[in-house]
Amino acid sequence: MVSERTIGMTQTLSLLPPQLMTTPPLLTMTGVSRRYGDVVALQDVSALAYPGEVLGIVGESGSGKSTLLRMMNLEDTPDTGDYRLALPDLAGNLFGLDRFARRMLCATRIGIVYQNPHQGLLMQHTSSGNVAERLLIAGERSFAALRARGRTALEASEFPLDRMDARPIELSGGMQQRVQLAKAIALEPALLLLDEPTTGLDVSVQALVLDTLKRLQRDRAITMVIVSHDLGVIRTMADRVMVMRRGRVVEQGLSDQIFQDPQHEYTQQLVHAKL
Amino acid sequence: MSIANLTKAWQPMSYGFLDASAKRELRRKMLKAIAVPGCQMPYASREVPMARGWGTGGLQVTLTLLKPSSVVKVIDQGADDSVNAASIRSFLSKVSGAAETWDTLAASLIQSRHRIPEERLHAGQILVLQVPNPEPLRPVEPNMSIARQMHADADYGRLWLILYERIVRSGRIMEGAAYPSLVNGRHVMTPSPIPRWDVPKLHMAQHLTFLSAGREKRLYAVPPFTKVEPLVFSDVPFKVEDHGALTCHRSGVSGFYMNEIPQDNGGSAFEVSDSHLGIKAIRQAEGEADRIGATWYQNGQLA
């Protein structure tokens, strides 16, 4: 197992899958670099996520973890890099797709939950309408079906159904995140991206939302990528962890390995600061 | 050789009020709008002697289309005799020498706010609608740059969200006006001022319709024989207002779009919204030779 771990910033990342993985990875990202002017946001980042696993990405603010997630959601294009999802009828580098194909792919195959619900939700529309919007973009035109599928998605994210027609702006932060989650899973995506999903929630609500996420993950065997600066969240959720710093991946491995036996100096600091 | 020989004689204003370059620009934009039905064309909205929001967009289009042989009718909420309609009509005739009329059948150019006449418009007639808000995507996408991109991509899924929420809140779709409609299978437009009752009149119509927003500086068109389909859910049909069974308490006509007039006893009476249709019906009843043309709706049903 040690052979696939990367230690130190100078060593190149080994993409060999862990020995026990028998299926090919769902998400393959290779050599992604992105500069914004003089700022290097991502430097030769590679990532893998296997079907049904939860990949955690940790790092301090500005380490490039959110940028990486935006790339995975095709909201931004890197300067160089390759991104593939092992899905039927989806071949080649996804960064090469045109706007239409991108939009359709993001709407139907990838779900995302943002840290700030204002980014992911239409605040002045109803919660069920927010979920319905996703279905509408995918082409659903039957009112009864929109209603039923919206209800199912909200139920799966443990949203109280008697409030499904309330506007998100009237709801608490935890509820807003549940609406975002329902919207993200409404079309049963292959990949669910979570950008600091519980940051800004108080500890008890945070636990409830994480609980929901875990249950969803177990029931639907959905592949998740979760970004957080909170090691507690990563430790609860993630099977494998990538540690990022200054736009590079400094260490990656199974979460137990990372948390019990951190190798890189920065990871050691991070784990030490938390525990 | 003097300047006077080389130039036209001094006139107090250009023909049709707008100067030649303004009309030229509008003509070009109107042709573009016809070429791409339902697509909003930006134009430099000029000053006219009227406040923004009172129909300046419609007025500029009408002024550009005017010629001395035109016969103009101006409708304000279905009526020809309101202050706004009367003022615009007399202004139009004053600056162009065009004839004025109240009769839908006699008019060659109809400027309207809120209504399409109940009598069928025929080929060769031009209807100009004054639009307050030309952007159907505004309720779902406040950023207009993104909205324009959505139009370019024909990304209209979100518009059903408005209808969805109407049904969720009220149990039925109650858009009083501005019911989003797909024009020629490509662009969604808001037939902004007209009620649902009038939207089917635009579908495969013989006449040409211009919709123009002066404040927002956008104009779009529905050319003759163009498909105009209101957006609907596959399981919730499009319905016009329930006015088919109402009878006008003044003229006695029924099966047309009505205005509700509150009464002293707390009840309400109804009056046909297309006022000249009512006038014609009353005159007919009194034995005069007025002729009501073919109407879009017959006995409250779309013919």
- pLDDT per residue over B274-298, tens digit each? 999 999 999 999 999 888 999 999 9
Q: Which residues of A touch B146 (CB under 8 A)?
A: none
Whether the predicted pLDDT of A163 surpasses 70: yes
Domains of chain B: 20-230 (3.40.50.11310), 258-302 (no CATH)
Compare CB distances from B164 to A103, A132, A138 and report the shortest one's residue.
A132
Give Cβ neighbours of residue A49 (< 8 Å, ≥ 6 apart).
A25, A26, A27, A55, A191, A223, A225
Per-residue pLDDT at B95: 93
Per-residue pLDDT at A6: 46
| A129 and B CB contact within 8 Å | yes
pLDDT digits (tens, 9 = 90+) for B174-228: 777 889 999 999 999 999 789 999 999 999 999 999 999 999 999 999 999 999 9
Read off φ and ψ for residue B302, nearest 5 degrees. Answer: -65, 125
Do A102 and A219 belong together in one domain? yes
Examine residue A199 and state whether it is found in any structural domain, yes or no. yes
Per-residue pLDDT at A5: 47
- What are the tokens at A254? 């199974």
pLDDT digits (tens, 9 = 90+) for B64-73: 999 999 999 9
% residues pLDDT > 90 (chain A): 39
Closest residue of B to A166, CA-based? Answer: B169
Examine residue A2 and state whether it is found in any structural domain, yes or no. no
- Across residues A121-140, what is the average pLDDT? 90
Examine residue A125 and state whether it is found in any structural domain, yes or no. yes
A87: pLDDT confidence band, cut at 50, 70 and 90?
Answer: confident
What does pLDDT average to over chain A?
Answer: 86
Per-residue pLDDT at B33: 97
Do A142 and A256 belong together in one domain? no
pTM above threshold 0.95: no
| Final residue belonging to a domain, choices A188, A217, A235 | A188
Which domain does A145 fall in, by range?
116-188
Whether the predicted pLDDT of A19 surpasses 70: no
Q: Do B153 and A139 touch (CB under 8 A)?
A: no
| Final residue belonging to a domain, choices A161, A188, A215 | A188
Examine residue A152 and state whether it is found in any structural domain, yes or no. yes
Per-residue pLDDT at B140: 87
Whether the predicted pLDDT of A20 surpasses 90: no
Of B227 and A235, which is predicted with more confidence?
B227
β-strand partners of A193: A112, A225
Give Cβ neighbours of residue B18 (< 8 Å, ≥ 6 apart).
B26, B46, B48, B60, B63, B64
Examine residue A25 and state whether it is found in any structural domain, yes or no. no
B4: pLDDT confidence band, cut at 50, 70 and 90?
Answer: confident
Whether the predicted pLDDT of A10 surpasses 80: no
pLDDT digits (tens, 9 = 90+) for B49-90: 999 989 999 999 999 999 999 999 999 999 999 999 999 999
A224: pLDDT confidence band, cut at 50, 70 and 90?
Answer: very high
Q: Which residues of B touch A154 (CB under 8 A)?
A: none
Whether the predicted pLDDT of A172 surpasses 50: yes
pLDDT digits (tens, 9 = 90+) for B88-97: 999 999 999 9
Examine residue A86 and state whether it is found in any structural domain, yes or no. no
CATH value at residue A244: 3.40.50.300
Whether the predicted pLDDT of B119 surpasses 50: yes
Least confident of A141-155, A241-255, B3-17, B141-155: B3-17
Compare CB distances from A132 to B153, B161, B236 and report the shortest one's residue.
B161
**Tokens 């008890």 -> residue:** A204
- Across residues A102-115, what is the average pLDDT? 89
Per-residue pLDDT at A2: 41
| Final residue belonging to a domain, choices A153, A188, A223 | A188
Note which residues in 192-251 of chain B have CB less than 8 A from chain A. Answer: 233-236
Give Cβ neighbours of residue B42 (< 8 Å, ≥ 6 apart).
B29, B217, B218
Of B89, B63, B67, B91, residue with least CA distance to B76: B89
Do A132 and A226 belong together in one domain? no
- Across residues B107-123, what is the average pLDDT? 95
Q: Do A136 and B158 touch (CB under 8 A)?
A: yes
Burial of B170 (0-12, 13-18, 19+ CB in 10 A): exposed
Per-residue pLDDT at A15: 47
Q: Which residues of B touch A138 (CB under 8 A)?
A: 157
B9: pLDDT confidence band, cut at 50, 70 and 90?
Answer: confident
Do A127 and A194 belong together in one domain? no
Q: Name the minimum distance, in Å, from the CA of B176 to any CA of chain A.
A: 19
| B156 and A CB contact within 8 Å | no
Query: How far apart are the C-alpha atoms of B72 and B101, rounded to whole Å?
Result: 6
Closest residue of B to A99, CA-based? Answer: B153
Per-residue pLDDT at B100: 96
A11: pLDDT confidence band, cut at 50, 70 and 90?
Answer: very low
Instruction: Count up the domains in chain A and report the number.
Output: 2
Contact B109, B71 (CB under 8 A): yes
Do A176 and A125 belong together in one domain? yes
Examine residue A15 and state whether it is found in any structural domain, yes or no. no
Number of Cβ pairs < 8 A linking chain A and chain B: 51
Q: Do B161 and A122 touch (CB under 8 A)?
A: yes
B118: pLDDT confidence band, cut at 50, 70 and 90?
Answer: very high
Per-residue pLDDT at A3: 42
Q: Which residues of A touch B153 (CB under 8 A)?
A: 99-100, 103
Do A136 and A200 belong together in one domain? no
Whether the predicted pLDDT of A122 surpasses 50: yes
Q: Do A144 and B235 touch (CB under 8 A)?
A: yes
Q: Do B165 and A126 touch (CB under 8 A)?
A: yes
Examine residue A72 and state whether it is found in any structural domain, yes or no. yes
Q: Do A99 and B153 touch (CB under 8 A)?
A: yes
| B170 and A CB contact within 8 Å | no
Per-residue pLDDT at A157: 87
| A125 and B CB contact within 8 Å | yes
Do A147 and A245 belong together in one domain? no
Per-residue pLDDT at B281: 94
% residues pLDDT > 70 (chain B): 100
Q: Name the minimum distance, in Å, from the CA of B232 to any CA of chain A.
A: 8
- Across residues A220-234, what is the average pLDDT? 88
Query: How far apart are the C-alpha atoms of A265 and A267, rounded to whole Å?
Result: 6
Whether the predicted pLDDT of A123 surpasses 80: yes
Read off φ and ψ for residue A88, nearest 5 degrees. Answer: -60, 150
Give Cβ neighbours of residue B74 (< 8 Å, ≥ 6 apart).
B80, B85, B86, B88, B89, B92, B110, B111, B112
Interhelix angle A99-108/B144-153, nearest 10 degrees: 100
Per-residue pLDDT at B8: 82
- What are the tokens at B282? 């009353």
- Across residues B264-272, what is the average pLDDT? 94
A9: pLDDT confidence band, cut at 50, 70 and 90?
Answer: very low
